[in-house]
Amino acid sequence: MSVDAESLRTFAEVAAGFVGFAAVSTGLAANRPGGLSAFDKIRFYWIVSGGLSIIGLSFVPIWVLIFDPENQMVWYTSTLVVCACIPPFVLMIFLPMFAKGQLPHTIGKKGPDEKRWLLNSYLFSLVLSITIVQNLASWPVPANQATYEFMLIIALSQMAYNFVNLVVVRGSEGVT
């Protein structure tokens, strides 16, 4: 069983770039008058936890092959690891907000931006869930590197959406 480690490493590098640039941009934005809204903090947590998850999940197939080089079910096993990582990922995003008492306030007042974000999150999550089920069921195609990378692309796309809305759109609000 061979794994194209170069493409998986590229996913990890792109995710690391998103996390790093979002951290710097958000750190600078937090010092501006008005700082970050609770909703911006949710986006930031989503980018950081999503990026760290993608970095880790990019290397799961390689780790599986290190421990079992003859593993013919590397993509199935890797998808099971993705399923195991979803609950901690959700907790990483929302637990800090609940601890600070910010999340209920944010969800209670949904503006058009928040509604668009929720719709986007639901759509990306639906496509990701369908891909996970497809990989686990190995139907209509067997689990392979392309379908596993598609899951990473979905996660990167959602991260890019949050990144653009947090850094670019929010950053342009202060420009006159």
Dig out the tokens for 44 from the structure.
Answer: 């930031």
d(CA 106, CA 148): 33
- Model confidence pLDDT, tens digit, residues 119-171: 888 899 899 999 999 999 988 988 899 999 999 999 999 999 989 988 877 65
pLDDT of residue 157: 94
DSSP sequence for 66-128: HH-TT-TTHHHHHHHHHHHHHHHHHHHHHHHHHHHT-HHHHHHS--HHHHHHHHHHHHHHHHH
Residue-range definition of the domain harbouring residue 157:
5-173
pLDDT of residue 1: 60
pLDDT of residue 114: 77
CB atoms within 10 A of CB 42: 23
Q: 50 with 92: CB under 8 angstroms?
A: no
- Model confidence pLDDT, tens digit, residues 86-116: 888 777 767 776 666 665 455 556 677 777 8
d(CA 37, CA 25): 14
Q: For tokens 């209920």, name the residue.
A: 104
**Domain count for the chain:** 1
Give the CA radius of gyration of the chain. 18
Identity of the residue numbered 5: A
- Model confidence pLDDT, tens digit, residues 64-86: 998 888 777 899 999 999 999 88
The predicted model scores a pTM of 0.84
The answer to whether residue 176 scores a pLDDT higher than 50 is no
Greater confidence, 172 or 90? 90
